[in-house]
Structure 1
Amino acid sequence: MKKWQKITLIGCSTWLVLALFIGIAGFFVLRPTWDECGVPHPGSTPDLIFMQKSIHPIIAEYEYKQRFGSGSNVVERWLPLNCGGRTRMNAYRYPSDAMLGPAIRLQDHWGEYLVQIQEQKTYLILRYNGRIFAGEISESSPRSSMLEIYPVGGQPVIQASVGDNQAEDITDTTVAQQPGEYFGRIDGESYPVRFVPVSEEPEVEIKSIR
């Protein structure tokens, strides 16, 4: 390699490192804020707001939250951390269920999430051997586990958990037995994030990568 080529290579590398340093420094100085959009639902009360925020200067990682209510009656709940960059999330509604009440099921590439409107809580949906469970999400990156116990002389028992919360068996509920009514999607690929109603665009299937 000629001397002038080495100088050019060193100069380009220096500028790349400097640009990377400035970008990372800017991320921590500016501190990304929450990007959000409203999510319509049966009854329209309380208000539902989907929230997302970038948490890494280089890797495409986003924290998700669901906000209930407005003004002084705001409640914020976690949805699982997204490590796959901006994505889309389909939304399905269930106007009423004897056990769960009105609810919304959200689905992206990583999994399914239940939003209970009356309780103002979010749950991670787990599926195992034909049974369906829902465990409350109380942190941004909850771990989940499934344990099948075989008691002597008895039927196997499945114990499921999300973080430190025991997951409840919801197999017999409407949410588990029916896909729900698709009413739109949360489009995280756009900026700012927005809700796209079914009247604007039809449903596009989202396949799980797990």
Structure 2
Amino acid sequence: MKKLLGVIIFLTLMQSTYAQRAGGFRYQMDLGAAMPKGGGIGTLVNMEPQILLSDNLAFGLRLGVAALAKDVTYYSIQENYNGEVSANASIAGTLNYYFNKGNSRLAPYIGGGFGYYILSSVKIDDSDFGDGEVGDLEASFAWAPMVRAGVELGKFRIGAEYNFVPKSGLQNVSGQVIGEAVNEYFGFTLGFFVGGGKWGK
């Protein structure tokens, strides 16, 4: 068992000493700040296994979570309210193209994806709504695209992304749509990847 484990570790290390090659696998993780459209702040974390379709093109499956303080519009009152911080999860297929000819450790990239977003429930401050019961504002789901760009240096990466998630309707306890919440957000990330080889010779 120890010998088998040693062989696996050795092969993994050997893979990381060579340049990126088609057919290779890599795994990346990003952490960063998330900024909802219209203002606010939040955080995000993305994990993404990838396979290299060519030396410069990777297909991945991004698993992400973004905690956002969303803007909430209540139809009956001409004023926006800040919702509580809510965590939205997503799973998206992605493609990344890397601008690297194999002679540099620096690899700028552009990419995009399309996936399924799980939009968690939102609770707003109902102190200004009088005696009317607002109730729980239920979770919803949406399909949406995402675009991103950045640069990798060695095994480390810095990037920016924008998630075009549509607004979601907010319902009260009676099932009536009483407002909407903003779900689009911009992300600025720092991260790293393992496997897949390295950039440069």
Higher relative contact order (CA 8 A, sep 6+): 2
Which of the two has greater strand per residue? 2
TM-score between both structures, scaled by the size of structure 1:
0.28
TM-score between both structures, scaled by the size of structure 2:
0.29
